[in-house]
Structure 1
């Protein structure tokens, strides 16, 4: 307890030196244990409220930390859920207001007029810096939480979750290229990411966009093209290749998939899903469509991307892919969105297989470099770009699980399944039995991990 002569409770009894020291201590106490200053030197009622708020926050932080260590998906699910994010935003806004009030009251209680003249601006400045740091951090956290809620609601659907199949989640990635010279969107990049639901080990399967006679999993397209896409009497578009399926279904036969839009997808995407399932033999639970025209915005929002260029790659003067503007030279390079997009799309003097490798390289680099710290510091730009670039049917309720799984994936090398001529894959005359065997062999666990019979 403070005595009647204590300068903490009774500041009028202290000398200038004592009052200066008292002011420093009060400012530090307010930072370390908000509410304690008021209990010692001011309004006991305000102090008790501040201490209760402080200890409640500490309890919640410790409890969240323990739960995260034991069941990380619980915390990640709460932080990727609209309700959870708004609750977090409300709490952070509440504590920002509480800390502001307590700090202003602490400055009043310091009685700066009785401190040393030289110390007064230092004490006031230090208290202000601490207040701006703490209140500003809480306010920014509330802003990020509300922005994240809006972003997640605009990108991810509210739908049922899908279980893993054979212990794996398979996600179709489409890079959509809706150029001005094209009738509708045409997937320029097609791949399937297969992720082990326990270990997080990911395999990237690149599907050549010019695959012919594409088989389909059971559904309307399999009924229409029982021998493969365009194998008998052609198809409804100019070229009967894998990346034409989206255009045909979306523009010519959207009635094939009447429930697509209501389920957060599109008829063309569902046609591509049936094709990717038919080619790979895998059940594809979800898709992610990336608008390549907006891809550059996302890379710029992340601050660029680091890429190791293995061979010279040209950048063209226009979309005709003929005249070369300049070349990417071999070596480690930092690319902004414009250059990253050209690096992934470049065609002049390269094959589709070269482009597949570069696109996969770009996807892996973005995944590796999109750290939580990087995303948080640039969150507004990333969210704005992401909501314009990404479309998916991954339900918001699965985000916590996938974020946790992604942390395991980033710690492991990503495997690649190459559907190229060197692996007996001829896109003009493909053997889909060979393709499925190649994929099954690549996804099979190593002998040491294979369960004993």
Structure 2
């Protein structure tokens, strides 16, 4: 019986060996050859044909086929284990021998069924994620999405500019405000990425001259009849909700008119062509951080949890924060605390919050290691379905995944737009100076000739590198490496 147990174990590790030993030599040799061939093909595809594997991972139809194949292989493996044991067990086993053999086969079959089921569920979770978040070009509408060559989408795109929106839409709210607006400018050759934060209270956000919104707001998004006074209803964070309600359909057919509005405005303000957007529901942000098992950040000053400034005594009196995230290096934050680390602003400045938002993104990218993705992918996929919207089409996902792998290993910097000089209050930002800073940071070697890009004619910037300072502080108008910016260097928060 001991010999049968050993043979069954080896027959499980190398499917077909048990059949061969048990006398079914042709069938056993065929199954062993098939098993070895599948392993070799898998290794070859993973090492030499990664593009095809990536394409499979983001194709709903191929993912469904992959699920069927995984289940079929699992069932076939279980059958081979059972059939092999029947052939190699003793002809007249004792009761104890039969019991041991049955238990062994049951454990082996369970050991095969569990990972097979997990693999099938993970593949289906990926299929649901791709199908729900990323629509094909034929099934989605966008007023601002570029047309590119699917086979080589970055051929004429030295820098991919991706708009990152954090919206506070959710239950109990009648509209959405984009409190977080960033642009990630990615070098498509190297993956080097520059993050540019736009302040939520910027006013007079411009529009390109060829946009229908330029005719509606020729002097930018504000009411000139009221003079240069504070107009919160014309802040950048109000555009996403306000303009589509007032001028619905002005941009043409689109699935997310608010995102297209902000894309156009950010394009004109920064002098960049914004290619795509990725919108995150801040309420769902908490779920994805929890699915990742938390993120590690350096907390350099007390960050408030909650708190409202209020408008005066009585019902609108200020409400202090319920708690604080205390300073400390390399703190592991769950989803709730990571959300407030990124959002908290009671008693703090907007630039400090923008810096924490960039550091949160940096922490999430760093936390997405292979072990976490494999073990918690179903939770991550489920959370992502609830919190993400984008105009990135399914057809470009393989290229985006390859670019994301470059970004993971590349340099990430922040471009300082010099708040003190260019938008001290946000009322009337110096967009010309901001565009000049961005042009210099993304292309420092460019000759200083020709006019600076204007708000009416945003231009795509050629690929370039960014400078890396060696300290946690940076000179306004320069690029700062996020590893430095997000390091532990306690301050009062500013």
CA distance in 1 between counterparts of 2:171 and 2:384 reads 22
- 1: CA distance, partners of 2:23 / 2:236: 74
Structure 1 position 337 matched with structure 2 position 315: no
Distance 2:226 2:234 in 1: 7
Q: 1:181 to 1:125 in 2, by over 3 A?
A: closer
For 1:390-429, list aligned pairs within 5 A.
390-422=388-420, 424-426=422-424, 427-429=426-428
Distance 1:308 1:65 in 2: 36
Answer yes or no: is the 8 Å Cα contact 2:57–2:126 preserved in 1. Answer: no
Aligned to 1:441: 440
Residues 368, 259 of structure 1: alpha-carbon distance in 2 compared, 3 angstrom cutoff: same
Secondary structure of 1:178's partner? Answer: coil
User: Does residue 309 of structure 2 align to residue 322 of structure 1?
Assistant: no
Cα shift at 1:170: 0.7
Q: Which of residues 382, 392, 401 is equivalent to 1:384?
A: 382
1:289 matched residue in structure 2: 279
Q: In the alignment, which of 65, 71, 92 is matched to residue 70 of structure 2?
A: 92
8 Å CA contact retained: 1:107, 1:124: no
Match of 1:277 in 2: 267
Deviation at 1:244, TM superposition (A): 1.4
Q: CA deviation at 1:137?
A: 1.8
Pairing of 1:151-300 with structure 2 (within 5 A): 151-159=129-137, 162=148, 163-164=153-154, 166-178=157-169, 183-217=174-208, 218-230=210-222, 232-233=224-225, 239-261=233-255, 266-300=256-290
Change (3 A) 1:389 1:450: closer
* Separation in structure 2 between the aligned mates of residue 272 and residue 312 of structure 1, nearest angstrom: 31
Confirm or deny: 8 A CA contact 1:172 1:190 kept in the other structure: yes
Greater C-alpha Rg = 1
Indicate the RMSD between aligned Cα atoms, in angstroms.
2.9
Kindly indicate which of the two structures has a greater share of residues assigned to helix: 1
Output one character per residue of 1:88-107: Cα deviation in whole Å (capped at 9) or x when no partner: 21211111011000111122
Structure 1 residue aligned with 2:349: 351
Deviation, structure 1 residue 280: 1.1
Q: 1:50 to 1:79 in 2, by over 3 A?
A: same
1:281 Cα deviation from its structure 2 partner: 0.9
What is the CA–CA distance in structure 2 between the aligned matches of 1:435 and 1:169, rounded to whole Å?
19
TM-score (norm 2): 0.78
Deviations 1:259-281 (A, max 9, x none): 112xxxx1111111100101111
Structure-2 change in CA distance of 1:336 and 1:112 (3 Å): farther
Structure 2, unaligned runs of 5 or more: 139-146, 311-317, 447-462, 466-494
Number of equivalenced pairs: 423
| CA displacement at 1:245 relative to structure 2 | 1.2
| Separation (CA, whole Å) in 2 of partners of 1:409 and 1:378 | 22
User: Which runs of structure 2 are paired with 1:52-201 in the superposition (5 Å)?
Assistant: 53-68=34-49, 72-111=50-89, 127-159=105-137, 162=148, 163-164=153-154, 166-178=157-169, 183-201=174-192
Structure 1 gaps, min length 5: 1-18
Task: State the secondary structure of the residue aligned to 1:347.
Answer: coil
Question: What's the CA shift string for 1:357-386, capped at 9, x where partnerless?
Answer: 111111111121022321221122212111
CA distance in 2, matches of 1:319, 1:128: 64
